[in-house]
Structure formats: structure tokens, C-alpha cells
Amino acid sequence: MISAITKQLGLHQLIDRMVPVDPQCQTRPSDIVLLLLLDIFSGRQALVHLEGWAHEMDLPKLIREGVQPSQFNDDAIARHLDRLYDAGIHSIVSECLLQIYQKERIPLRVFHADTTSFSLYGAYESASSKTLNITYGYSRDGRSTEKQIQFGLVGNEEGLPLYADVHDGNLSDKTWNPSVLSRVHEQLQRAKIEGEWVYVADSAAMTADTLREAKAAQALVITRGPNSLRMVKEALAQADSDQAVWSEPFSLAEKKGTSYRVWETSASYHGDPVRLIVVESEALDQRKERTFQKKRMKEAELLQNEQERWSRHPFSCREDAEKALSSFQKSLRLEFHRVQAVIEETVRPKKRRGRPKKGVEPETETLYTIRLDAGFDQEAWEKARRRASRFVLVTTVPTEWNGRLMDGKEILALYKGQISVEMNFSFLKDPFFTDEIDVKKPERVAVLGYLFLLALAIYRIFQRRVRQFVTPERPLKGAGGRKLTRPTGQAIFQLFAYVKVVVLELPDGQQQRSLGKPLTYEQRRILQGLGMDEGIYV
């Protein structure tokens, strides 16, 4: 299926046109690209014992007639990787992604951007700024002791990348975001798409450079405003005032989704007007919830310890008690408790050594004890949770765009689509697909990284095509009898895991293929939905 889709998209002709073919070479650049893509999807460790694996594959059917497993030895693969790099692997993959969008007729107006790191083993001492700088940087996986590269993705709400790159391991997102805007704009111009488009990114995009480059690229920006920005702090403060008119609660999900409210204001950022959408979520982030509970318990424990300490050690004079109470109140930083403190006066017999004399009135002493009346402040608790559940979206999208109302709810819906690009990272970090990269030259690391990105795009197209004919009314029956209404590519792969093709070599050199056993109903349904039949096997 993957081989058939790749050929339908015309990627092999495009690659052969962009990469010069060596007349002495028995294979084409597209042959090695397709073989490596199939290798990635097979779940093997990329590039390891590739020639031996090719002997087990039906290469004439999967790649093209005439290719032989022996032609995919380590030296041949290395030469092809170098040719792909020299021909401009970034440009090659960019053209492939653009052709995929055009062939599939996918809208080109709203895009989501993000980056992730990918750790590598090895020294890579030869890395330089002219190639790919494999070095230490901020690791999203917490693997700061290993060198890394980074993947950058800009794609639609379905996760299909229009732009993708492999860049230096220490490049900051605040540098990457402004630089990528012009490149996406070039992609759109090659697709003959004119006019404004929307760029959605995380808070690292909230810089003056990003807004400047966005304006030059005819892009409208939606991003999350960092809480450290003054205009964000002011917006959050204004949202608490009585003048703030919040929207009615709404949900973005069809069933039992989180409820939101929004309130909008405006500001100027480095001279550019922006809209600020304050969003309040009904559900508090679990990490924040744990932090709040921990702080509440810590406050209660502090008050209890102080009360016990003063009960054991009363003061001999009121002045000392008042000084201690004043000092305590100044140091107190309570958020979820209300405290009232009083100084209690107690008169008791003064303790003397020995037995008291008969008929002598015992001496007395006056002690002063601080008593704390502490109570949980439910109102402060609710107010703090409400504030913690708020965040601010900053956007340059007008209230009406392309004949479409772009209110706070619509801006939030577009921002929430950011999860589509983040889900791509699970593919890029899934050991089944990518695992380790075992090549010596940074140039070859770059090529293999770009092939991972191309594999991601083909995976998304495969998944997208299947989901177009699978509905809640007509779900797929997955492994174990599960009903699949939005099947992932891997869930579909599982349904085809045990398809066997018998290849018979005839005396005259001809080959005959047949299925080991008939395809199941679900397998035939998927092939039909993809516009294929069992002919892709036989």
C-alpha cells in the first residue's frame, strides 16, 4: 500500500528529475529513497543489513522491474545518500511535500508549526556550520547528555507537513520561527497561492522578529502569550474586573469536552496592533492542581507548627508576644488560609523549688500565649484556580477573515489544532519507525532525517485517505475486534501484518504471484477505499 501510494503521488519521477543520475549506476535515486521509506515503515532499524533485507522483499513489485537486492549494498547506499545531499535534500523534500498537497488537493490557508529534538549517539566531530551541526542543545526528552538534531514541522490541522526541515541541535525556537515564515511563503508562492495565511505556533513565536517576518510573508499569527509579557499580565488583571464581559461557556469537542470562556481586549506590541484573547478553561492542568494542593497542605502544616511552638513556649511579657506576632505576620505569605491571631493572658502559680510554706500565699506569674484561628479560604482557593486555568492567546488575525468570523472561540479552536503537529513527533520518536541513526557523516544524518520527514508525510496521507471512508456509522473492525472510527496508520498496518504473497519462479524466468490466502472483508474494504485491489500484491 505504501509503495502504491508513493507511486501514485509521482514522487519517484520528481526525485529522479531533481537528483542527477550516474549513468554507471544500476539504480536510480528514487529506488534508494523508496527502499529506505519501506525500510522505515517495516519497523527495522534504518540502514542496518539493508541488502539482506532486500533479498526478502519482492523488489520488482515494490520498487520497479530490473532492480536486484545486490544493488543495495552499503557502498551503493552511501553514494546515493551523498548524491541526495549534494542535490539539496531540503529542496527535494520540500518539492515532494508541495506535490503531495497539490495531488491530494489539500487547502493551503492555516498551518501549525513546532519543533522537536532527536538524540543521536556518536561524536560527530566533523560537524560544522556548513552542514548539519550535531551538538548539545535543549532536549525535549530530557536527554541533555547526548548530542542531537532537531526537526521543524509546519503542517495543516491533519498533521500533514507542507514544510519540514532538519536543523542544528542547538537552534532556538525563537530563531527558527521567524526564519521559517519566509520559507513557507515560498512554498505557497510555488503553489500559486496568493493572499494571507495563518501561522499557529507556541509561545516561542511571540517575538518582534516573528511579527515582522510574518508581515513580510503575508502571514497572520496565532500564538500563546508568555505570562512574563506586560500586556499579558495587564490582560489577565483586566479579565478579573467587573467590566470584563465574558462569553457564554462553550466546548470545542463533540462529546463531553472541556468547557471554555473567552474575553477579548487589544494592545500594541512593538508598534503592531494585536488582539489578546483571554481563555478560561473549566479543567485545571493536573500539574497545577497538584501544585495547588501541595501549597495548601504546606500552609496548613506551617500554621499548625507555629501554634504548637507558641503553646509550648509562652512569653513572659506582652511586649515580647506582640513583637513575635508582628514578625510572624510580616513573614506570612498565605494564599489559601485566613488567619486571626490573638494574644491570650494566663495567670498561674509561679513555680518554686521545694515545698511551699504553710499559710503563705503562692506567688503568681502572668504568661502571654499567641493563639491562631486559621481557616481555609474557599473564595481565595477558587479565585486562584480560576486564574491558573487562564491563558492568553495573541493574534494578528482580524475579527473577520476571508468572509469568516474570527471571534475568540474560532481563534481558540485554531490554536487547539496545534496538537496535530505535536502528534507528528510521536511518529518521529517512535522506535518502530525511526529508532537509532547509524551513519558516520553529518550529511548522511541530514538525508536520513529528511527521509523520516517524508515518511511521516506519506503516513499522514495514507491515514487521511482511510479516514475519509471510515465513519462512526461504518467503522473498521480492528485487531481484537475493536471498532475503529478514526483509525491510525499503525492500526491499519496491523490488519495487513499477515498478508503473504507466494512468488513462483517459472523455468522461462517469468514470475507468477498469488496470495497465500484470500484477503479478509476489512482488508478488501480498505483497499477499495484507497482505490486499489489485490493487484498491488499479485
Look at residue 127 and tell me whether its pLDDT is greater than 80. Answer: no
Q: How much is the pLDDT for 273?
A: 94
CA dist 423 and 463 (Å) reads: 13
How far from 211 is each of 47, 178, 460, CA to CA, in Å?
42, 8, 30
pLDDT digits (tens, 9 = 90+) for 220-232: 999 999 989 999 9
Look at residue 206 and tell me whether its pLDDT is greater than 90. Answer: yes
Mean pLDDT computed over every residue of the chain:
88
pLDDT digits (tens, 9 = 90+) for 384-420: 777 788 899 999 999 999 889 999 999 999 999 988 8
For the residues 338-343, what does the mean pLDDT come to?
86
Cell numbers linked to 348: 498561674
Q: How much is the pLDDT for 437?
A: 66
Cell numbers linked to 402: 476571508
CA dist 159 and 347 (Å) reads: 77
What is residue 132's DSSP assignment?
Answer: -
Cell numbers linked to 65: 522491474
Q: How much is the pLDDT for 338?
A: 87
CA dist 321 and 323 (Å) reads: 5
CA dist 322 and 275 (Å) reads: 51
Q: Cell 549534494 identifies what position?
A: 86
Q: Cell 482580524 identifies what position?
A: 398
Look at residue 450 and tell me whether its pLDDT is greater than 90. Answer: yes
**Helix, strand and coil percent figures for the chain, each rounded to 5:** 45, 20, 35
Residue with the larger pLDDT of the pair 204 and 306: 204
| Confidence band, pLDDT 50/70/90 cuts, at residue 46 | low
Q: How much is the pLDDT for 16?
A: 93
Q: How much is the pLDDT for 225?
A: 94
Cell numbers linked to 29: 535515486
CA dist 199 and 214 (Å) reads: 8
Q: How much is the pLDDT for 452?
A: 92
Look at residue 465 and tell me whether its pLDDT is greater than 90. Answer: yes
The 10 Å Cβ neighbour count of residue 184 is 20
CA dist 367 and 384 (Å) reads: 39
pLDDT digits (tens, 9 = 90+) for 149-196: 899 999 998 889 999 999 988 899 999 999 999 999 999 999 888 899
For the residues 520-529, what does the mean pLDDT come to?
93
**What predicted TM-score, i.e. pTM, was given to this entire model?**
0.82
CA dist 96 and 462 (Å) reads: 15
| Confidence band, pLDDT 50/70/90 cuts, at residue 286 | low
Q: Cell 522483499 identifies what position?
A: 57
Q: CB of 201 within 8 A of CB of 113? A: yes
Look at residue 128 and tell me whether its pLDDT is greater than 60. Answer: no
Q: How much is the pLDDT for 96?
A: 96
Q: Cell 500500500 identifies what position?
A: 1
For the residues 324-330, what does the mean pLDDT come to?
85
Look at residue 288 and tell me whether its pLDDT is greater than 80. Answer: no
Look at residue 134 and tell me whether its pLDDT is greater than 70. Answer: yes
Q: How much is the pLDDT for 231?
A: 96
Q: How much is the pLDDT for 178?
A: 95
Q: How much is the pLDDT for 525?
A: 93
CA dist 5 and 343 (Å) reads: 82
CA dist 311 and 346 (Å) reads: 12
Q: How much is the pLDDT for 434?
A: 64
pLDDT digits (tens, 9 = 90+) for 15-28: 999 998 777 888 89
Phi and psi at 167, nearest 5°, equal -130, 175
